[in-house]
Chains A and B, each alone.
Chain A
Amino acid sequence: QVQLVQSGAEVKKPGASLKVSCKASESTFTSYYMHWVRQAPGQGLEWMGIINPTGGSTNYAQKFQDRVTMTRDSSTTTLYMELSSLRSEDTAVYYCAASSGYYSPYFDYWGQGTLVTVSS
């Protein structure tokens, strides 16, 4: 059973940085590419980027290129998404999602989501 367990809700101030974690089982970590997707309140879904957990290579959406960093820790099979210079528009639920391929990146599994609120 593939499980992606994300860290808990956070409240951040504008200008701060955010780091969300997504813990995967070992088999998931080595077999799947991991994506980060966000959903602002009442809004649609927005793809932020992808990381190859085994090699660490990444591909970020242009919109987030300057502010996002996706990393992984092989020792704990945990993926991280860090977003800097937060603003109110970054208030959203952030999801990790797993795809088995880079060139056919449909999501097989999703994390439960992490609510991030950016407010002064």
Chain B
Amino acid sequence: DIQMTQSPSSLSASVGDRVTISCRASQGISTYLAWFQQKPGKATKSLIYAASNLQTGVPSTFSGSGSGTDFTLTISSLQPEDFATYYCQQYYSYPLTFGGGTKVEIK
């Protein structure tokens, strides 16, 4: 199985900050990587697929990059509604696997 490692596991930031979350795969996965957002009491929201493609309706403050084994999710200007937990997921091969999550908290 492909192991996905996210860092950091949590971070504190202020509204307006630029935030970067990393995700590393245990083997090359090309760009078969997705990011999604979880908030307590809300449905999980898919943000990005194919490493850098925004899902419909996702603000342009979100961006993704990377290929092979190293990937990044960037929030260019953190908004109050962005405080959440973020996960990466590889879909290069089955079984699908996920990163451990990064909790973005208010500073």
Contacts between the two chains (Cβ within 8 Å), count: 54
B73 to chain A, nearest CB (A): 14
Determine whether the beta carbon of A104 is less than 8 Å from that of B95: no
* Chain A contacts for B98, CB-based, 8 A: 44-47
In the complex, whether B54 has a CB less than 8 A from a CB of chain A is: no
| Contacts known (A106-B34, A106-B89); A35 close to B55, Cβ less than 8 A | no
In the complex, whether A9 has a CB less than 8 A from a CB of chain B is: no
Contact residue among B46, B89, B91 (Cβ-Cβ distance under 8 Å from A109): B46
Contact residue among A35, A62, A109, A113 (Cβ-Cβ distance under 8 Å from B96): A35
A104 to chain B, nearest CB (A): 6
A57 to chain B, nearest CB (A): 13
Determine whether the beta carbon of B101 is less than 8 Å from that of A44: yes
In the complex, whether A14 has a CB less than 8 A from a CB of chain B is: no
* Chain B contacts for A109, CB-based, 8 A: 46
A18 to B97, CA, bound (A): 23
* Chain A contacts for B50, CB-based, 8 A: 104, 106
Nearest chain B residue, comparing its CB with the CB of A103: B91
* Chain A contacts for B94, CB-based, 8 A: 50, 59, 61, 105
B51 to chain A, nearest CB (A): 10
A-B pairs with lowest CB-CB distance, top 10: A110-B44, A106-B34, A106-B49, A47-B96, A45-B98, A61-B95, A105-B91, A44-B100, A112-B43, A106-B91
